[in-house]
Structure 1
Amino acid sequence: MIQSWKEVLPGDRYEVRMAGLLYFYDQKIITCLYQPLIGIEATSLYFTFWQEKDSREGNFSATHHQLMGFMNLSLDRILKARKKLEAVGLLRSLKKRHSDPGFFIYRIFPPLKPDEFFHDALLSPFLFHQVGSRDFERLSSLFADHSSSEVDFEDLSVTFDDVFESVPAGEIKEEEQLDPGEKKWEKRAQSGSLRFRKPFDFKALKRYLSEAILPADALNDDVRADIEKLAFVYNTDPFDMSRAVETASLHTGTVDRDALRKEVRDFYRLEHGADEMPALYDRTQPEEDREMAGRELQSEEERLIAWYETSSPYQLLEQLGHGSKPQPPDLRLIENLMFSTKLNPGVINVLIDYIVQVNHNNLNKSFVEKIAAQWSRMNVRTVRQAMSIAREERRKRQEPVSSKNDAPRRRVSERGHQEIVPEWMNGDGHVNRTEAPDEEAKKRAKWLDDYLNSI
């Protein structure tokens, strides 16, 4: 849940700085290659910062309230767009310490050049999945070098001294003017690098690597950067990565970066299917379909709704597995639901949690897809709608049991999956450390079970 007031206020000022020169051609790269990944609002924010800096000489600060009016966006949406720019390396945000009101520096970076982008181990596969194979090929052709051969041409260009004569030394009166001194000139900066909050475990990787195949210095900075990106994109653990690294360095003693990308990609396709590529998408409930954003949570039901809204299906699967890594079949099922039914992640969270309870912890593919298709036809968009429908479905399933007994049976779920409790769970912004995660998980599971039983 993005709550902008915790990070930035409308009255906080900001200043835009460039990490280097930007060129007109960069607009084409941003629009065609980055916009499919980050969306129109993040792209618009980048161009807004660019024009603000480009239209003024020197440094000029403005308030975020002015930025909200200029872009006609809420501060929450601007903050979300800003974080997307930071994630893909187009922006760095710096905040001055102990400043009231707050003061930010937004440093914009140039995008990767086309050849760098299409060879990037992280951005290129995500673009492929986002636009599809046909448009990916069209974009790569759009930026390809189409210059024709010049083998049959003769160079007739003159040299400098064919046109100009040197100036006699006596005519230069102020020789010291030729010395630039300490001046620094604007230049094209390096593109922003991608960073990860959870770094790849290179220590574990080295334990799996054979020194007979690969020397210790083969993992240079460029190779390590590729490994980190590939591990994130394809969800590759150190053991599987070690096999790819050794294959990519066989007989040479150095890691062939192109071969490494191919090895990891081929292994992923072997596991997921020949035409599958990893997806890049917002894995939590969209802001416009959230009910608890910015609200003070008053009840257990509201806390549960907020949890579903701010957690991803991946996190839910991880917790249902007591903290273990979700299995590929379950991940493929989740991805297929998102792309085929277009259900929101929060709704999918309710769906998965509901089916786990009524189907004895079994995520049967046909059963899940049947209910998901039904919810999609009903146009279920919010978590509260999904919970209401799940409760009604649960009541229908238990009607035969209730007719044979004086009182409906109550089944209390005994699952106690590992859960890291978000700060908002207690309403006061502090995590309650007195109860163990398993106890909190059982408490949440029992509340949902009671809710489905209309208790």
Structure 2
Amino acid sequence: MKDNWKEVHPKSIFQAAIACPLSNQEQEILTLLYQPIIGVDAFGLYLTLLSEAEKTGISESLFHAELITIMDKSIKQIQLARKKLEGIGLLSTFVKNDAELGTLFLYRLNHPETAERFFKDEVLSLTLLNSVGQRKLDKLFDRFKPKFINLNGFEEISVGFKDAYLFKEEQIVAQSNQLSQMEQAFEDPRPAQKISAVSEQFDWSYFIQGIEKLGIKLPDNHVGFKEEVFVFHNLFGITELDMIDFCSKSFDYYTGKIDTKEFERAVYRTYDPDKKQKPSQFQKNETVDLSAEDQQTYRYNSLKMNGFSMQDIQMIMDSENNFPLNYLEALKNERGGYTTPQERSLVKYLVSKSGLPNSVINVLINYVYNIQKQPTLKADYVNRIANEWAQSGIFSPEKAIDHVREIAKKGKEQKQTRQRYGQNNRPIRQETLPDWVDNPVEEQKLSKEEQARLDKEIQDFLSKGGDN
């Protein structure tokens, strides 16, 4: 019966059903946690079916043609959206054949997981990570995680149930039939299946034999770990042998069990590694053995001969003699400002991921802060520039300065060309400028909790020598 979806056509009849309405919390989870994974078409299909079924629990019989009209989508697009809902557990599809009406479809809408179960589910949380990225995932997690109150120093004095309410235990026996009926009414005879990333292409038995030969055991939550292995296999195409190798680097020597957190880190170190910073590329006098001071003098003279101004040379020297966080702090202090936790986290990310030398990162910071007159560094904007510079092979501060000036010159020429010829409707060939040439858009401010978390992350980073 799994091929019955091929029988769907505009005149096919369907009904939508849901056991009970979604709560406000479930609607929020559906929008913020599920929508980035399933996409707007599947999200729209869920809401459309929900609007038909929510009031009475089951909709009247409808033609698929009505879905096509309401959603303005083809039947093929609707089927693809339906599969996405089914795959993530939000929809269960049932079919039966009627002698008069033909094939009938029943779309049962399932409730989204609670926030707790969503983030505890390795498949869902990793899929969301790959849809929105680490930064957005952290924001979503902070939004939904419980805000427990610190009760240190408090003593609970709450009364118990029997202290406040009259309850007769003998009623449990007397009303047992009614109580049993009410209990069974809330039990779904065919509950939604838990989503799974199990792949038939991955030989789980071979993988188990491999780790057992090494004396390694599965972690206590072996079901969750199995799902995680399949997620990484589907995500990165990791083979059984490579997966065994990751396990050999991430087990507890005392228990012999795989450390799941260390296993995750081992995978991400390989498939999302920190980039080794390129050495700053500038001209040195290699013919004679010069002291550090004389080498600086030679560097100064070389820059001067290449046409750099005194102001340029001072900025280049400063960029080469300071670490990025210190450089940013100095720029902020000059204007009486301060470095935000988000900026510290961003600079740390640039150092570990961009591959740009510290000197080039400093010029980038100077460009955004002093030339673009931005009071703070904004992650999306700064990352766009860093990506473009890395791809353009800009690994020295003087190259960065020349590149910025060349971009500015082209932008000015394009503007003048548009002003001169734009009104004559003549075709104008224009070279595309990088998107970071425009001013960055305003980014959403972090909450106090998010700032506190970033503060802790930066403190951990600095305590390990990350500011050097």
Structure 1-normalised TM-score?
Answer: 0.50
Structure 1 distance, partners of 2:33, 2:194, is 15
Structure 2 counterpart of 1:163: 164
Does the residue aligned with 1:161 lie in a helix, a strand or coil?
helix
Write the mapping of 1:16-415 to structure 2, written as runs, cut at 5 A: 16-18=16-18, 22-57=22-57, 60-96=60-96, 101-167=102-168, 175=175, 178-180=178-180, 184-186=184-186, 192-195=194-197, 198-215=200-217, 220-251=222-253, 252-270=255-273
Does the residue aligned with 1:248 lie in a helix, a strand or coil?
coil
Comparing 145-154 and 213-222, the one that deviates more: 213-222
Instruction: State the Cα distance separating 1:25 from its structure 2 match.
Output: 1.2
Paired residue type of 1:142: R
Paired residue type of 1:226: E
Structure 1 alignment gaps of length 5 or more: 276-339, 341-455
Contact map agreement 1:110 1:191 (CA 8 A) in 2: no
Does the residue aligned with 1:184 lie in a helix, a strand or coil?
helix
Per-residue deviation, residues 299-331 of structure 1 (Å, max 9, x unmatched): xxxxxxxxxxxxxxxxxxxxxxxxxxxxxxxxx
Q: Classify 1:130/1:63 alpha carbon distance in 2 versus 1 (closer, same or farther; 3 Å).
A: same
Structure 1 counterpart of 2:351: none
Per-residue deviation, residues 187-246 of structure 1 (Å, max 9, x unmatched): 596673135564422133234324352258979433222211121112211111111223
Higher relative contact order (CA 8 A, sep 6+): 1
RMSD over aligned Cα atoms: 3.9
Contact map agreement 1:114 1:143 (CA 8 A) in 2: yes
Contact map agreement 1:90 1:109 (CA 8 A) in 2: yes
Instruction: State the Cα distance separating 1:15 from its structure 2 match.
Output: 2.9
Structure 2 alignment gaps of length 5 or more: 278-383, 385-468
Structure 1 counterpart of 2:369: none
Paired residue type of 2:232: L
Instruction: State the Cα distance separating 1:27 from its structure 2 match.
Output: 1.3
Per-residue deviation, residues 315-359 of structure 1 (Å, max 9, x unmatched): xxxxxxxxxxxxxxxxxxxxxxxxx9xxxxxxxxxxxxxxxxxxx
Paired residue type of 1:82: R
Structure 1 distance, partners of 2:250, 2:45, is 40
Structure 1 distance, partners of 2:222, 2:168, is 49
Contact map agreement 1:213 1:250 (CA 8 A) in 2: no
Does the residue aligned with 1:138 lie in a helix, a strand or coil?
helix
Instruction: State the Cα distance separating 1:135 from its structure 2 match.
Output: 2.5
Contact map agreement 1:30 1:111 (CA 8 A) in 2: yes
Q: Classify 1:177/1:196 alpha carbon distance in 2 versus 1 (closer, same or farther; 3 Å).
A: closer
Structure 2 distance, partners of 1:198, 1:69, is 38
Instruction: State the Cα distance separating 1:79 from its structure 2 match.
Output: 1.4
Structure 2 distance, partners of 1:175, 1:30, is 38
Percent identity, aligned pairs only? 25
Q: Classify 1:146/1:273 alpha carbon distance in 2 versus 1 (closer, same or farther; 3 Å).
A: same
Q: How many residue pairs end up in the alignment?
A: 271
Per-residue deviation, residues 353-408 of structure 1 (Å, max 9, x unmatched): xxxxxxxxxxxxxxxxxxxxxxxxxxxxxxxxxxxxxxxxxxxxxxxxxxxxxxxx
Paired residue type of 2:107: Y
Paired residue type of 1:76: K
Comparing 208-217 and 147-156, the one that deviates more: 208-217
Structure 1 distance, partners of 2:175, 2:209, is 62
Contact map agreement 1:226 1:257 (CA 8 A) in 2: no
Contact map agreement 2:37 2:128 (CA 8 A) in 1: yes
Paired residue type of 2:231: K
Structure 2 distance, partners of 1:273, 1:192, is 37
Comparing 148-157 and 29-38, the one that deviates more: 148-157
Q: Classify 1:185/1:245 alpha carbon distance in 2 versus 1 (closer, same or farther; 3 Å).
A: farther
Instruction: State the Cα distance separating 1:20 from its structure 2 match.
Output: 7.9
Structure 1 distance, partners of 2:261, 2:97, is 43
Larger Rg: 2
Per-residue deviation, residues 160-193 of structure 1 (Å, max 9, x unmatched): 2223334596x99965655525962225966731
Does the residue aligned with 1:230 lie in a helix, a strand or coil?
helix
Instruction: State the Cα distance separating 1:39 from its structure 2 match.
Output: 1.6
Per-residue deviation, residues 253-276 of structure 1 (Å, max 9, x unmatched): 333333332222222124x9589x
Contact map agreement 1:11 1:64 (CA 8 A) in 2: yes
Contact map agreement 2:219 2:225 (CA 8 A) in 1: no
Structure 2-normalised TM-score?
Answer: 0.49
Query: When you count helix as a share of all residues, which structure comes out higher?
Result: 2
Per-residue deviation, residues 129-154 of structure 1 (Å, max 9, x unmatched): 44344333222221122233122334
Does the residue aligned with 1:105 lie in a helix, a strand or coil?
strand
Does the residue aligned with 1:39 lie in a helix, a strand or coil?
helix
Contact map agreement 1:213 1:253 (CA 8 A) in 2: yes
Write the mapping of 1:409-424 to structure 2, written as runs, cut at 5 A: none
Contact map agreement 2:29 2:115 (CA 8 A) in 1: yes
Q: Classify 1:57/1:95 alpha carbon distance in 2 versus 1 (closer, same or farther; 3 Å).
A: closer
Structure 1 distance, partners of 2:5, 2:157, is 65
Q: Classify 1:89/1:174 alpha carbon distance in 2 versus 1 (closer, same or farther; 3 Å).
A: closer
Contact map agreement 1:17 1:105 (CA 8 A) in 2: yes
Instruction: State the Cα distance separating 1:89 from its structure 2 match.
Output: 2.8
Structure 1 distance, partners of 2:78, 2:16, is 15
Does the residue aligned with 1:93 lie in a helix, a strand or coil?
strand
Structure 2 distance, partners of 1:31, 1:200, is 33
